[in-house]
Amino acid sequence: ENYINSKEESFHRRGIHLLPEGWEKGENEGKYFD
């Protein structure tokens, strides 16, 4: 469990930096699919 938790922690740390870009792409894709 500790191994998974530390893996998730580093993933979330990177995810925070990627969020704005990822959300923007998701919003654009959502508009296309709508």
Is the pLDDT assigned to residue 34 strictly greater than 60? no
Predicted confidence (pLDDT) per residue in 2-30, tens digit: 766 677 777 666 666 666 665 666 655 65
pLDDT score, position 12:
64
Which residues, in sequence order, are CB contacts of 15 under 8 Å at separation 6+? 22
